[in-house]
Structure 1
Amino acid sequence: MPIEIVVGLPHLSDGPILKRARDMQVPTLISANCLSRWRRHDGWREWAGWRLATLANARGLRSLDLDSGGYVAMVTYRGIPWTVEDYMALAASYPFRRFASLDYCTEAGVAHDREEVLDRLSRTIRTNRECRSRAEDLGIADRFMPVIQGRAPTDYERCADALHWSMVPGRVVGVGSMCRRHVAGPEGLIAVFEHLDRVLPEGVMLHGFGVKGSALSYLKGLEHRIASIDSQAYGIAARQDALARGIRKRDTLVAYHMEAWTAAQLRRTHEPTIAVQTELTFAPPSGESTDAWEAAIAQARCQIRDLIEEGQLDHDEVTAGWIQEWAADLYAERLEAA
């Protein structure tokens, strides 16, 4: 089966974009962000729930998936403004074909160093577990799409191992932090998907969030593993077109580029596969830091991540100061034991 092209929609306002998506009869996806309500409170913009009535405009679409919008939330709001309960209430409010777990993206613009990447993996594991549990309570677990995150290919494997209950034949698993990733290289898009193809059980399928259309020609050899990809890249083409022509980027122009972009991706599914250098394996650094304080920091982070994944600590309550205090206790214990 060819890789399915899912068209990301910027909103569900009943207008040219939605009409074109209905006419095209292609699978579509929206972000939770586009359904958010906001209000001003004491001079601050505050999240105020969902605009659920907007979902009525989705009638006539071939299918509609839901993404948690983690990257936009982190960049725009410095955090996810809604809780797991809030998000799952949205997921249960409409018969989405699939709804993704809440997750914590790991792009360089959000996770600035290796420690922060690891922290965000633990938070992603925790929110997947919480979302699955709530989905079971709501009777919608059959439509739940787990999401794995990472920077290096082995990061995604770690997430998948922690969420082993979801790695079953027929399940579609979302692969996050793809849209700003290079195609080639040891941490490139191809390396991630090839690594997951080797380590995941047979029959587990993948959905790539925000995968570049140009990458599709390289992914065709993985059609047995990749169920679908989505993108809203046509919005960039529409913006460039509007600037070049000195006009406003109206929805009629965006709808035109959406159809052109989709047609181009569908053509790519019938083109020959382009070969690319496969994943290079690098041995991870070994050994513990010889500096006692740095070793205590590393141990504190590891213990805190374990507690987050087990549900004993909230995934948003850990601060840098808390890590320092935790490490200070471990450091003191090391000195006493010496």
Structure 2
Amino acid sequence: MISTAKVQKQVFVLVAMLLVIAVTIVVGMGTGSGSLPFDRLLSTLFGHGTAKEDLLLYSIRLPRMAVTLLSGMALALSGAILQGITRNDLADPGIVGINAGAGAAISAFFLYFPLDPKTFAYMLPLVAFGGGLATAVLIYLFSYSKATGLQPVKLVLVGVGFALALSGLMIVLISSTDLRKFDFIAKWLAGNIWGVDWPFVYALLPWLVILFPYTLYKSHTLNLLAMDESIAVGAGVSINRDRLLLLGAAVALAAAAVSVTGGIAFVGLMAPHIAKSIVGRRHQYFVPLAVLMGGWLLLFADTIGHNFIEPVGIPAGIMVALIGGPYFLFLLLKK
């Protein structure tokens, strides 16, 4: 049974996190290279702004923040799923190589296939999903043993190896291309938010709308998988089927996110850990908070890197890595 105190704590923390996100959005809307004073925000939001203010808010800042927020949410949800099905607190779509697989597929697609601007935003998540899924399956096969099952430590090591190899493949792919395409892939590798138009928001949103409720529905299964395989089997869980379905969901979420934000790691590592430390390790408790936490982390990193560091800014992926790298080392030493 879920205690009333536990539910009240969860609701309080979720509301507090929503307020923090709202404050960050307001700060992001009012800051940057273009002038949009805070006293003009409400007027512009309610349709009483000038043409310049409308362009700045609705065509530049809001879609960028929406993409960043949704991508952070997707990465955090992906990380929460991966940590549950692998029983490894260090699992993250960026660390274990899924992001690199998605990036390699995007690089090949962008460099060697004809691009239709009308469908480009909607094709990228599908291409990234194919590359990420193929990579995840290979990592899973290399980390699995019939005698001992899935080996969490081996999964991280194999994933890191795949991530390095696929990053090298991306560099090889772009080494002989023209400067425009080279610049795009280089920015992707750095985690530079580039999909900043409304079509990218529409391409990303369905993945979260479908897979977030699915993850909550599978919370009990994730709780059992995170404990021990024998316990899960005893409780009637079909381990291989559920693990593969949840792995597919994690890959889809990570692929959809990185297809528009670039190679961003550590969000899927940090957000679930912070949420677990606040509301406990049961997935029905911490997953909603982890999703909000991940969205805020990436939004905050992009707001700081894009608006407050002059003259050209720092990519969100680098800003997150500055925080996530030491955090990863802390968890590694702790484990």
Answer 1 or 2: which has greater helix percent: 2
| Greater gyration radius | 1
Please tell me the TM-score bracket, short chain as reference. under 0.3
TM-score normalized by structure 1? 0.27
Query: TM-score with structure 2 length normalisation?
Result: 0.27
